[in-house]
Amino acid sequence: MTGTTRSSEGLDARRRKLLFRSWHRGMREMDLILGHFADTSIDKLSDEELDVYEALLDITDRELLSWIIGEAPVPAAVNTDVYRQIVASRDAFTI
């Protein structure tokens, strides 16, 4: 069971893949943070935002989590609108 609250039905192949990757990270905390974000936002992201999101998914869980929870400063290259949307989405729920 992944925890996803949305179906991939109606999503294009790229969005389906990113939704799956968001819920299957390896670290449960990141599954919840990125999965929740993908559930609520994947269908609203532009192609350019999908590029940014895909790059964020390539970052290791430990590194990305340390930025999201404020343990480490966020590099300027990562501090994008999409990253800030993820953080805001994380703040909307508790793990």
CATH number at residue 30: 1.10.150.250
Give me the helix-helix angle, 81-91 and 47-57, nearest 10°.
70
Closest CA to 42 of 8, 65, 69: 8
Instruction: Residue 77: give the domain boundaries.
Output: 13-91
- Residues 6+ away with beta carbon under 8 Å from 86: 33, 34, 37, 56, 68
Q: What is the DSSP letter of 71?
A: S
Q: What is the pLDDT of residues 4-45, one digit of tens each?
A: 667 777 899 999 999 999 999 989 999 999 999 999 999 999
Percent of the chain scored above 70 by pLDDT?
A: 89
Does 2 reside within a domain?
no
pTM metric for this prediction: 0.87
The answer to whether 29 and 95 are in contact (CB under 8 A) is: yes
Domain-embedded: residue 5: no
Q: Which amino acid type is present at position 71?
A: E
